[in-house]
Amino acid sequence: MTRLLDPLLRDVNELILRMGGACEAILAKALRAVQQRDAELACQVAQDDLEIDRLDIEVDEAVLRAIALQAPVAGDLRRILAVKSIAVDLERVGDLARNIAKSAERLAAREPVPLPSRLESLAEEVQSMLRESLDAFVARDAERAGALLRRDDEVDLDEDRLIEAALGEIAAHPAISAQEVDLILIAKNLERVADHATNIAEDVILVVEGRNVKHAEKLARTAG
């Protein structure tokens, strides 16, 4: 099934892996800037994100080149477009890391507040989901990708709990409300990184099995 696909996608795949690595690094840096209250580190994130934007443009070109050179048939074409769609998700992860870095900058400029342990564990879980989605892509492992889809609901719950806790902190200590709002925004941004990891997992399933599971759960939930 991947015989035809392999030469076609080599360039694109390599670019995706570079993008994925850059996204993991930028996200880790943004979160480190939050933890260490390091405004300088936070500033680097916007710069690093430009490299991801450049890779995104390169993916666009490589996809066009692959299609033009190989004139792939429907199944392969579907797979190439799925790979392109992974690049779209990774580009957004870069943007989200930039948002987190902006919160880090603001947090570093204000009175320090303790970071909730739940935020730390949410950050770890989301980084692990992103890594796992990229590993599933490298391994072309639809089963691993499928396992990821089930982790997103837990992240949503964790985000809700974090927001509730932050609202409680604001009510009790209005003086630190600006910081708590940034913690809420960081949680929101992390939750969206998990959404993109989920999208990538869906695209991996499409690449490997040719099965489109996009929106499947949401649509099934209402049909049932």
* Structure tokens belonging to residue 46: 């916007």
Name the one residue in this structure whose structure tokens are 């797979």.
79
Q: Does 218 bind a second copy (CB under 8 A)?
A: yes
Query: Which CB, 35 or 177, lies closer to a second copy?
Result: 177
Least separation in angstroms between residue 60's CB and a second copy is 7
One of 59, 93, 184, 200 touching a second copy (CB under 8 A): 184
Which range touches a second copy (CB under 8 A), out of 4-12, 123-131, 140-148, 166-174?
Answer: 166-174
Is 2 in a helix, a strand, or coil? coil
Residue 59 backbone dihedrals phi, psi, to 5 degrees: -60, -45
* Structure tokens belonging to residue 171: 């009510």
Least separation in angstroms between residue 74's CB and a second copy is 5
Nearest to 10 by CA among 88, 63, 53: 63
Query: Which CB, 28 or 88, lies closer to a second copy?
Result: 88
Least separation in angstroms between residue 78's CB and a second copy is 6
Runs of H (alpha helix) within 36-141: 39-70, 74-109, 117-139
Query: Which CB, 24 or 51, lies closer to a second copy?
Result: 51
Tell me how many residues contact a second copy (CB under 8 A): 39
CA dist 5 and 24 (Å) reads 26
* Structure tokens belonging to residue 109: 């400029």
CA dist 144 and 137 (Å) reads 9
Radius of gyration of the chain (CA): 19
Least separation in angstroms between residue 222's CB and a second copy is 6
Query: Which CB, 2 or 212, lies closer to a second copy?
Result: 212
Q: Does 219 bind a second copy (CB under 8 A)?
A: yes
One of 163, 209, 210, 211 touching a second copy (CB under 8 A): 163
Q: Does 67 bind a second copy (CB under 8 A)?
A: yes
